[in-house]
Amino acid sequence: MADSFPFLETSVMKTGPGCGLSAGVFSFRSTGERRACRLLARKAGPALLPQAAAPSLRKAARRGRRRSPSRGWSAGGAGRGRSGRGAKGPRLPFSPPPGRAEGRAAAGAPLEEAGEADAGGIRRGGGGGGSSGSAGSTMPAKVCIVGSGNWGSAIAKIIGQNIQKSMKFDPIIKMWIFEETVNGRKLSDLINQDHENVKYLPGHKLPHNVVAIPNVRDAANGADILIFVIPHQFIPKICDDLKGHVKTGAIGISLIKGIEETPDGLKLISDIIREKLKIEVSVLMGANIANEVADEMFCETTIGCKNPDSGKLYKELMQTQNFRITVVDDCDTVELCGALKNIVAVGAGFCDGLGFGDNTKAAVIRLGLMEMISFAKLFCKGPVAIETFLESCGVADLITTCYGGRNRKVAEAFACGGKTIEELEKEMLNGQKLQGPQTSAEVYKILKQKKMVDRFPLFVNVYLICYQGKSVKEFITCLQNHPHHM
Ligand SMILES: NC(=O)c1ccc[n+]([C@@H]2O[C@H](COP(=O)([O-])OP(=O)(O)OC[C@H]3O[C@@H](n4cnc5c(N)ncnc54)[C@H](O)[C@@H]3O)[C@@H](O)[C@H]2O)c1
């Protein structure tokens, strides 16, 4: 049962405050958790419930078993109360899309204005395929988070809470975890038993319906929505592992900031996922330092999504009062912003380490922004809307990263001298990964190939300083003849 109903298992078996057994009575931290557990009990049926299960859960399970599939509680399915009435069998809120919906005419225009989507479910035309039920039917969307680092855990906290309030999503979130041992225990056990990712997001309890799973295929099995949130260097391998194991009609969204340089030139991370897994892929990028998001401090983010229905669904899945989402269809620009700003942040860190003041740092940020725009115009397949740079994924993310992020911090230490980027990454980040230096190396190769290094002095010199032994003291000099001053 642990495999099928891990949340129920953890919730039911664990003792102690917050969730579990207390004198034979279950207590939950929220009504959402109680509801999720009741729903699972209905799915499980009385026979599969632990003996210790509370009377209310056993009652729910009996009630669930009595309901016929036409009431929405099929024995093996994931139907929920308000769906699935009538002779045609279960009506379920998720059905996969036939393919990418046509984007809106103007790149960068917020999709919410379009008013084209229904209440957030994904419509399917004929031939949608997949195992989510018959055409026209819908079922709660199962969500899998591929990744469990700092940002992966913060987004799991939001999604785990949000889905408890929505009928559109299955109550369990499976979260793939790259297994490691922390304080003598498996990190997956720590998350499933103590509900905290003590290594990557210490001090924050994760909702109990977030279940860590160390095998990526098991985690993604049956998922309708895949959320990719791992350091970008690991994405090709993970996608190869997942190939052939993703549900037909599933959709994905990448929260990953980075790009890949390939023999064919620049590749966005969303392109890699799309090509390898053959699924629709959107992106989410913004001024979102994970710890602050997890602390529920107000911020914004941008989703780049060409399918208005998917955009609405993602918004329902992830938006909160303190995490406000704008959806635009200028996906490639959104994604490039997320990757390139990390290079600028390295430059900002150099600036801090060298002891320059606020004016200099502001100039570095502005020149970095100009290079981001020029790069996007050169390399995006579709049109590039300047307004996209005014969204959270653009100028806001650039500012936050240049003041608060790990790339800035490590670059500042690098400029103070004595250690390589790799040494500092190991020493300062406790297993977290830097993105800026590696992205600068990928960008450099692309610019060299296209004979354009002279047009991007900031990007190029970050690379030369990080990897080619150029003195960090020359960083500002390199910017004095910037093409934007000529
Ligand atoms: N942390 C943030 O504030 C933040 C905010 C927005 C976006 N992002 C982006 O999210 C993505 C993920 O970053 P994060 O902060 O969640 O991760 P992280 O840097 O905190 O953690 C590293 C992760 O990589 C995993 N890992 C280590 N070796 C691995 C391997 N061989 N294969 C697969 N995984 C391995 C670790 O288990 C861990 O989960 C990055 O692209 C990052 O740029 C991060």
Q: Is residue 4 over pLDDT 50?
A: no
The pLDDT-based confidence of 238 (bands split at 50, 70, 90) is: very high
Q: Quick one: pLDDT at residue 59? A: 54
Average of per-residue pLDDT across 460-476: 96
290 ligand 1 Cβ < 6 A: yes
Q: What is the pLDDT of residues 148-168, one digit of tens each?
A: 999 999 999 999 999 998 999
Average of per-residue pLDDT across 46-67: 44
> Which one is catalytic: 142, 174, 257, 341?
341
Written as one string, the DSSP assignment of 210-232 is EEEES-HHHHHTT-SEEEE-S-G
Q: What are the E-state strand segments in 236-358?
A: 251-254, 259-262, 265-268, 280-285, 299-304, 323-328
Q: For residues 329 and 279, what is the distance between their CA atoms, to the nearest angstrom? A: 17
Q: Is residue 81 over pLDDT 60?
A: no
Is 341 annotated in the active site?
yes
Mean pLDDT of the chain: 79
Q: Is residue 443 over pLDDT 50?
A: yes
Written as one string, the DSSP assignment of 358-384 is HHHHHHHHHHHHHHHHHHHHHH-SS--
Which ranges constitute the DSSP H helices of 88-139?
A: none
Q: What is the pLDDT of residues 133-153, one digit of tens each?
A: 333 457 899 999 999 999 999
The pLDDT-based confidence of 264 (bands split at 50, 70, 90) is: confident
- 3-state secondary structure at position 280: strand
Identify which of 187, 398, 433 to mutate to test ligand 1's pocket (most ligand atoms within 8 A of the CB).
433
Question: Who wins on pLDDT, 362 or 21?
Answer: 362
Average of per-residue pLDDT across 426-432: 92
* Maximum Cα interatomic distance, the chain, rounded to a whole number of Å: 77
**CA of 330: how far to CAs of 61, 380, 391, 401, 456, in Å?**
46, 10, 11, 22, 23
pTM value?
0.77
269 ligand 1 Cβ < 6 A: no
Q: What is the pLDDT of residues 329-384, one digit of tens each?
A: 999 999 999 999 999 999 999 999 999 999 999 999 999 999 999 999 998 888 89
Distance 424 CA to ligand 1 centre (A): 17
Q: What is the pLDDT of residues 173-184, one digit of tens each?
A: 999 999 999 999
Give the residue whose CA is nearest to atom 34 of ligand 1: 178
